Amino acid sequence: MKTDAAATLDAVPDLAEPGLLTDLMTLTKARLSLLVIITTFVGFCMASDASLDWLRLVHAILGTTLAAASAAVLNQRIETKVDRLMERTRNRPLPAGRMKPAFALALGLALGVVGVAWLWLATNAVAASLAAATIVIYIAFYTPLKRRTSLCTVVGAVSGAIPPVIGWTAVRPSCDLGAWVLFGILFTWQMPHFLAIAWMYRDEYARAGFVMIRRDDATGAHTATQSLLYTLALLVITAIPFFAGLNTSLYLVLGLLLDAVMLVCALRFLFERTRPTARTLFFASIFYLPLILGLMIFTKA
């Protein structure tokens, strides 16, 4: 679902010539599907025993991806007018007038129903319920909160941290320690990742009426401090799999090295609070996530 990791790839304007396929990909935020696929896959792998049930994995990924697409479409339907105010979103199919709002609403609802039903029938009720909860959190809470309080980023991070838990529960219909660790990693990772984006695009967000960072944080001190604190929390949470016996010592060593890189970038952002340091933290977070998740899989105990 769109984490506010969802803003990850949204931070780059869509440059492709608009056509029906391009518009559908933009409307469903198809580029973000890769993040959903990766995190769902990791959750599924970590919950599995020696061998994977590949068919069940495919069902889990497809159902979760459809649910994520539903949240993306419904979000753009709700924010059509606001998207017209921002340079990087004004050419999306809805604000540009290339697609009808009624079509987007129908598509978003259909994707959500199919995704949740798919998970229910092909995996289990727990995974399906989590997918439904993700859509509800993103649309009913995160989306309206964006115009009211900077705490919206925390709510958005909750929604974005659920896909690996869906992958986990598709194998084991219960939220064990491993599922909570995956949730914690995704949640804490999203915060410095998105806060860096929010700082880089703070003027554009403000013009559109979005409160992505605190209104009184003109210097960026609060935003940068938050980024550092969440990065420190990420360091602690990523160490848990080793001490819980989920991963080997190699994971701990290499994981701490990755955490150190993130920590250095967060510290630079705190001390300088410039667009280049925020951008460095943003890109560090992009590289960090697939590396730490891949490490979890390859060093599984």
Kindly report, residue by residue over 112-127, the tens digit of the pLDDT: 999 999 999 999 999 9
Low pLDDT (below 50) residues in the chain: 2-16
Q: Is 280 helix (H, G, I), strand (E, B) or coil?
A: helix
277-286 long-range contacts, Cβ below 8 Å, gap at least 24?
278/196, 278/197, 278/199, 278/200, 279/196, 279/200, 281/192, 281/193, 281/196, 281/227, 282/11, 282/193, 282/196, 282/197, 282/200, 285/189, 285/192, 285/193, 285/196, 286/8, 286/193
Residue with tokens 């819980």: 244
pLDDT digits (tens, 9 = 90+) for 161-173: 999 999 999 999 9
Could you give the CA distance from residue 75 to residue 241 in angstroms, rounded to a whole number? Answer: 34
Q: What is the pLDDT of residue 21?
A: 86
Could you give the CA distance from residue 91 to residue 86 in angstroms, rounded to a whole number? Answer: 9
Q: Is 300 helix (H, G, I), strand (E, B) or coil?
A: strand
Q: Which residues contact 44 (CB under 8 A, 6 or more apart)?
A: 52, 56, 57, 60, 61, 167, 168, 170, 171
Q: What is the pLDDT of residue 32?
A: 81
**pTM reported for the whole predicted model:** 0.89
Domain count of the fold of the chain: 1
Q: Which residues contact 275 (CB under 8 A, 6 or more apart)?
A: 199, 200
Greatest alpha-carbon pair distance for the chain in Å reads 54
Range of the domain at 240: 4-298
Query: CATH no. for residue 25?
Result: 1.10.600
